[in-house]
Structure 1
């Protein structure tokens, strides 16, 4: 049976991951300062992205995400293990992204991945200390007439 503390910890961690998704999808890069620890290591390289600290990650996202007319991060199926003030998690992410094309035509890129996270409690609040993406799939659908 889960203790009330572990239930609370799991809900707080899930809220943290939703805050991450909303920050990226709304391009509010400074919100990521409330998601990650200042010394976080973030590795998006499995899906072709950056690998580095929080500042480098924010710059990468700010440079790359505006190139896509639309995108979403849908997270699900989190497996979270809490151990005091640390925790680990494996969370599925489905990330459709609209890609601009020639002559106004757009394509849809479907990204399926797992977030492998290490969490720490800092001053009573959960933060991501390490995030590594694990690739599931990436598929680019051909342009469809009328899309866009």
Structure 2
């Protein structure tokens, strides 16, 4: 079987990445795949926490995004999503299947396909505000200065489901809930390491 797109030991890639890991192309690709996956996960966190600085950090400055009814630059996308997100009291983006294909001619370009489901809850009682979408992120990634970021994103909508607001139960009192800003628990500093001698 001859190597094809997406294989980790492509002859055209070996010469480009041998020096980084002593010739271990598979190790290099595993690390690259995880770095790319982390970018997608940080993007989802940024959206759900309404942390647009975190979202911006997932893109190269000259990136473009085609996202539903929007197509434009990353700066235009951030302005658009910044107006859209406050319509919802909460969002949650869950990602599943994630596949990365590397360009045959360079180790610094890749295409990532991510399947996901996004939940949107609105204070508006109209069902249109409480929706669930199935989506894919098709991301062209570029590694520049050693860092993988999105250079171009196409977000596809695969299906949409609308739920009646009456179907949402309130979170019981006393339970910690997520926050849509940097007061969320995920931004809390790490606790000090316990003294192993104690």
User: Could you state the TM-score of these two structures normalised by the residue count of structure 2?
Assistant: 0.67
* 1:67 lines up with 2:87 in the alignment: yes
* 1:10 lines up with 2:33 in the alignment: yes
Separation in 2 of the partners of 1:22 and 1:145? 25
**Correspondence for 1:26:** 49
Separation in 2 of the partners of 1:145 and 1:7? 42
**Correspondence for 2:120:** 97
User: 1:99 Cα shift?
Assistant: 2.1
Q: Of 146, 153, 158, which residue of structure 2 is paired with 1:124?
A: 146
User: 1:108 Cα shift?
Assistant: 2.6
For these two proteins, the number of residue pairs brought into alignment is 144
* 1:88 lines up with 2:74 in the alignment: no
Q: What are the Cα deviations for residues 83-119 of structure 1, in whole angstroms up to 9, with x where unaligned?
A: 310000111111010122249x996301101011100
Q: What are the Cα deviations for residues 13-49 of structure 1, in whole angstroms up to 9, with x where unaligned?
A: 000111111111111111223210111110112xxx4
The unaligned stretches of length 5 or more in structure 1 are: none
Separation in 2 of the partners of 1:22 and 1:87? 22
Q: Of 125, 130, 141, which residue of structure 1 is paired with 2:163?
A: 141
Aligned to 1:76, the other structure's residue is in SS state: strand
Which one has the bigger strand percentage? 1
Larger Rg: 2
User: 1:135 Cα shift?
Assistant: 1.3
**Correspondence for 1:114:** 136
The unaligned stretches of length 5 or more in structure 2 are: 1-6, 9-25, 171-198
User: 1:61 Cα shift?
Assistant: 1.2
Separation in 1 of the partners of 2:143 and 2:87? 34
CA contact (8 A) 2:142 2:151 kept: yes
Q: Structure 1 146/50 Cα, relative in aligned 2: closer, same or farther at 3 Å?
A: closer
Structure 1 residue ranges (4+ consecutive) displaced by more than 6 angstroms after TM superposition = none
CA contact (8 A) 2:56 2:78 kept: no
**Correspondence for 1:51:** 71
User: Could you state the TM-score of these two structures normalised by the residue count of structure 1?
Assistant: 0.89
CA contact (8 A) 1:10 1:82 kept: no
